[in-house]
Homo-oligomer: A and B are copies of this chain.
Amino acid sequence: MEWSALRDLLAVAETGSLSAAARRLGSSQPTMGRRIEQLEKQLKTLLFNRTSKGLILTPVGEQILGYAKNMAENANAIERIASGADQSLQGVVRMTMTDQMGNYWLPTKLSEFRQRYPGLRLEIVVENRTLDLFKREADIAVRFSRPQQLDLVVRKSIDYHYGFYASKSYLENHDRPESLKDLKNHSFISYDETIFSNAALKRLENLIGEQNIVQRYTSNSGVINALTQNLGLSVVGCYFADQDERLERLMPTQFDYSFNAWVVTHADLFKSARIKAVFDFLVEKLAEDATDFAGVSSH
Contacts and interface: CB of A to CB of B under 8 A. Distances in A.
B82 A60 contact: yes
A72 B237 CA distance: 49
Each complex incorporates copies of this chain amounting to 2
A45 B4 contact: no
Contacts of A82: 43-45, 60, 64
A75 B63 CA distance: 12
Q: How large is the interface on A (under 10, 10 to 19, 20 to 34, 35 or more residues)?
A: 20 to 34
Nearest to A65: B78
A145 interface: no
A68 B78 contact: yes
A142 to B, nearest CB: 25
B43 A79 contact: yes
A56 interface: no
Interface in A1-50: 1-4, 6-7, 43-45
A168 B296 CA distance: 108
Contacts of A86: 44-45
Contacts of A63: 81, 85
